[in-house]
């Protein structure tokens, strides 16, 4: 049997009690249950300055950007939690991806990516998910077609942080299985 695909997971939210971090945790569990090897990181541990070309020219690539690039290169796929600010991508997620594109080698080319999004609203951060998926395609990723959003996320978890709704849990499991299948397919 081939090695399980290695998946790097992170959320575009810095908030400690982020709904997207909770939804991402559910997706991380589903990936593990489906047989994937997953590394979950918190972008709070990789603080970056706002991308600025002059800063890069003067100081080079920040150490944390290089760490994120190195992590991405070592993994076959990405699993990203994408919150929504003003119907768009969070500044944290956009800035992180912008810095990562400054690598000498493209850390995204040939990777598989899946996106989950949660929101207290009725659309479940659908706008940001669409934008992040498009951005990942532009960066060279193959994006899992399964669309996995969580509306009314503030009501979706029990006291242990598990999803209450069986249909939502099934959607997360489908996304996890598809991520693993595509990562295995592209690595062969």
For position 72, which CATH number holds? 3.40.50.360
The pLDDT of residue 125: 86
Range(s) of the domain holding residue 146: 6-187
List Cβ neighbours of 60 (8 Å cut-off, separation of 6 or more): none
Please indicate, yes or no, whether the overall pTM of this predicted structure exceeds 0.85: yes
Whole-number pLDDT of residue 1: 45
Is residue 1 in some structural domain?
no
- Which residues touch 15 (CB under 8 Å, ≥6 apart)? 21
> How many domains, in total, are found in the chain?
1
> Distance of CA 67 to CAs 41, 52, 164, Å?
11, 18, 36
What value does the mean pLDDT take over residues 48-53?
Answer: 95
Segment (H or E) for 138: helix 126-138
Calculated CA dihedral for residues 38, 150, 129, 178, nearest 10 degrees: 40
Q: Across residues 164-179, what is the average pLDDT?
A: 95
Work out the pLDDT band at 188, boundaries 50, 70, 90.
low
Q: Are 48 and 65 in contact (CB under 8 A)?
A: yes
Between residues 148 and 1, which one has the greater pLDDT?
148
User: What band does 78 get if pLDDT is binned at 50, 70 and 90?
Assistant: very high
The strand pair at 112-118 and 148-150 is best described as parallel
Distances (CA, A) of 175 to 53, 104, 148, 168: 36, 31, 7, 11
- The pLDDT tens digits for 173-182 are 999 999 999 9
Share of the chain above pLDDT 70, in %: 98
Q: Distance (Å, rounded) from C-alpha 62 to C-alpha 67?
A: 9
């Amino acid at each position: 049997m081939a090695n399980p695909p290695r998946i790097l997971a992170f959320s575009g939210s810095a908030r400690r009690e982020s709904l997207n971090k909770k939804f991402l945790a559910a997706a991380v569990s589903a990936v593990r249950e489906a047989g994937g090897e997953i590394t979950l990181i918190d972008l709070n541990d990789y603080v970056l300055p706002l991308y600025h070309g002059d800063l890069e020219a003067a100081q080079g690539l920040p150490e944390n950007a290089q760490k994120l690039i190195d992590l991405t290169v070592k993994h076959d796929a990405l699993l990203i939690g994408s919150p929504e600010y003003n119907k768009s991508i969070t500044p944290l997620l956009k800035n992180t991806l912008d810095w990562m594109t400054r690598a000498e080698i493209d850390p995204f080319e040939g990777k598989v990516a899946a996106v989950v999004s949660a929101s207290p609203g009725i659309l479940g951060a659908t706008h940001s998910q669409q934008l992040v998926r498009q951005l990942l395609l532009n960066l060279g990723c193959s994006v899992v077609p399964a669309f996995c959003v969580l509306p009314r996320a503030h009501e979706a978890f029990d006291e242990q942080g598990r999803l209450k709704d069986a249909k939502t849990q099934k959607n997360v499991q489908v996304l996890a299985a598809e991520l693993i299948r595509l990562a295995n397919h592209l690595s062969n």
